[in-house]
Structure 1
């Protein structure tokens, strides 16, 4: 299920493109160094440019066994990297992918996360063989919950991550959308 990770997709206000090393300063300033953002989606906090460049190297040159597809979220008006959106997990055997996203605090409340999510869902279902997209948030992460509630995704009992790990979600709110429902 190869996906051309070099493809860029856009919305009215955003460009979602592959990461570049030139994103480092914006990432550090806007989101990667913020514990409130990084902790909410289970990522470490990056304290300096060296750490962010190492992260970028993993994003730009992932090892062959990882199925990570990440896009920098660029605000068109400023040209800044304001966050990221990704298929953080891919299950080729069932044509499913899990979505994660983050947006820097200075850019909260503008609908950017939802806009990027909608664009990624459309991109995935019109350009990839994925049949199902999933996401989840911790119940206490109300901001992420609002993004998913407003999206075309619907609540579900569990997601493939938990099924694969043999875990019942506890404190996570799961969402999904199937390609056949999206394209109707």
Structure 2
């Protein structure tokens, strides 16, 4: 049975994963939420104004009132900047699994930070939420995301062919999972 405890602070060597705050708006605009390349990989809209971002943060903050809501700002400890986000956006209480989504600004990619955040959230899911399985997916064109998934030890489960239509072409969606007893 899943234990719904909500979004709580998670600390890693280089990161702090915490609830979003309105003061994250400038970093979000600077590093990721206004970047069409980053946002298109997650089918999220591009935000260009502080007002739009603050409205989104408001939705996140109101979500924190629910014990089955899990969304973290990825904060780089060294600078205290919000460099991305990570969440359990799908929670299946009947079958004891959740699905992760994440994004990280392009300046911070290929440094192991997304892997560090993802491992921490997987651990949170297994140890704090009592999940049996964590799943994740990526678009076939998102090779950096595939590398994060592989480094975290996920097992490939299958491909949903031509799942997304992007920029005039179809793109596959690849699914992976990891079970509690497989996570090291």
Q: Which residue matches 2:52?
A: 51
Which structure is higher in strand share? Answer: 2
Matched residues in 2 for 1:106 and 1:53: separation?
Answer: 22
The 1:83/1:63 distance shift into structure 2, 3 A limit, reads closer
Q: Which residue matches 1:105?
A: 106
Matched residues in 2 for 1:93 and 1:56: separation?
Answer: 29
Matched residues in 2 for 1:93 and 1:11: separation?
Answer: 30
Q: Which residue matches 1:179?
A: 180
Per-residue CA deviations over 1:15-51 (Å, capped at 9, x if unaligned) read: 0011111111111111111111111011111110000
CA RMSD of aligned residues (A): 2.0
3-state SS in 2 of match to 1:172: strand
1:5 shift after superposition: 2.3
Matched residues in 2 for 1:8 and 1:66: separation?
Answer: 14
Q: Which residue matches 2:165?
A: none
Give me the TM-score of the superposition, normalised by structure 1: 0.88
Q: Which residue matches 2:12?
A: 11
Aligned length: 174
Task: Answer yes or no: is the 8 Å Cα contact 1:68–1:89 preserved in 2.
Answer: no
1:154 shift after superposition: 1.2
Regions of 4+ moved over 6 Å:
63-66
1:6 shift after superposition: 4.1
Unaligned runs of 5+ in 2: 163-171
Which structure is higher in helix share? Answer: 1
1:67 shift after superposition: 5.0
Give me the TM-score of the superposition, normalised by structure 2: 0.88
3-state SS in 2 of match to 1:93: coil
Task: Answer yes or no: is the 8 Å Cα contact 2:72–2:87 preserved in 1.
Answer: yes
Q: Which residue matches 2:86?
A: 85
1:66 shift after superposition: 10
3-state SS in 2 of match to 1:94: coil
